[in-house]
């Protein structure tokens, strides 16, 4: 689940240390509603340079369970564990795990999933491919953004994930964009069911997209501003 939720290469995951992980909150959209969700960021040492990875929010819970397990192992087997410079993926004695292939193969064999429908053997790298395909299919993530996330190029994303048999293009190729009335004069208005127009005008975005303003406003792009109320509910404002 960690690999499917992060898209890391197996070598990147093995070299991951607890100090490379920071916890944060992200704004997540579910069925048109925005909510604040606890997540994390991962500093990844990739093939040529380091990058910051934003995994799926459930990865945070996985890492927390691993951390608890390592604390328990440290007490049982008498080694020091501070969850800082230690490797995330370590055995019961605190030693770094050097490879995942053997245990991954045994796991798939026990589940009768070692080979796919085409007779090809599944390997640990298949999880990274699953992540990329899911993000293109379910998340509809832009190829450029996904390339940054996975530490590769947009060309590689389009080659290996967009054209994958697991990628369903039906939503992308059948989407209909609402056209504006060419005779109507454009004007700036604010849509909100719970915030007054005066409040909206005073919250007009002047910051760069993707910034958190005073801990209350989150500017998604030049047309969408999120406002966080006192009970941590996010309200959206569309600038047209």
What pLDDT digit, counting tens, does each position of 98-145 carry? 888 888 999 899 989 899 888 999 999 999 999 998 888 777 788 899
Reading across the β-sheet that carries 33-45, which strands appear in turn?
A: 21-30, 33-45, 50-53
Query: Tell me, what's the pLDDT at 42?
Result: 96
Could you report the per-residue pLDDT of 151-187, keeping only the tens digit for each? 999 999 888 876 555 555 555 555 555 554 555 444 4
What count of residues does the chain have? Answer: 240
Q: pLDDT at position 82, please?
A: 95
pLDDT (mean) for 84-107: 93
Region 89-99: what's the mean pLDDT? Answer: 94
What integer is the mean pLDDT of 78-90? 96
| Predicted local confidence at residue 171, as pLDDT | 54
Q: What is the pLDDT of residue 116?
A: 87
What's the token pair of residue 186? 């454009």
- The span from the CA of 194 to the CA of 203, in Å, is 14
Give the pLDDT band of residue 194 (cuts 50, 70, 90).
very low
Tokens at 184, concatenated: 């109507």
- Distance (Å, whole) CA 219 – CA 39: 19
Q: What tokens does 4 get?
A: 């499917």
Query: What pLDDT score was predicted for residue 200?
Result: 33
Cβ pair 135, 7 in contact under 8 A: yes
CA distance 55 to 7: 8
Contacts of 210 (CB under 8 A, 6+ apart): 219, 220
224-233 confidence digits (pLDDT tens): 445 444 444 4
């Amino acid at each position: 689940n960690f690999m499917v939720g992060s898209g890391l290469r197996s070598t990147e995951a093995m070299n991951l240390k607890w100090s490379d992980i920071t916890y944060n909150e992200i704004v997540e959209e579910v069925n048109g509603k925005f909510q604040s969700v606890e997540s994390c960021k991962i500093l990844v040492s990739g093939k040529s340079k380091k990058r910051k990875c934003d995994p799926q929010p459930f990865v945070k819970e996985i890492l927390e369970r691993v951390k608890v397990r390592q604390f328990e192992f440290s007490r049982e087997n008498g080694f020091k564990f501070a969850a800082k410079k230690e490797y995330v993926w370590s055995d019961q004695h605190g030693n770094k795990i050097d490879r995942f292939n053997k245990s991954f193969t045994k796991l798939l064999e026990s589940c009768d999933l070692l080979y796919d429908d085409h007779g090809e053997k599944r390997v640990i790298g298949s999880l990274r491919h699953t992540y990329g395909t899911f993000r293109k299919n379910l998340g509809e993530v832009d190829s450029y953004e996904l390339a940054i996330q996975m530490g590769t190029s947009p060309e590689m994303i389009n080659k290996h994930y967009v054209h994958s048999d697991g990628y369903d293009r039906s939503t992308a190729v059948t989407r209909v964009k609402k056209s504006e009335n060419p005779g109507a004069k454009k004007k700036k208005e604010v849509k909100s069911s719970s915030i007054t127009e005066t409040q909206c005008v005073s919250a007009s975005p002047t910051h760069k997209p993707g910034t958190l303003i005073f801990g209350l406003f989150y500017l998604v792009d030049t047309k969408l501003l999120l406002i966080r109320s006192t009970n941590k509910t996010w309200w959206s404002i569309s600038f047209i």
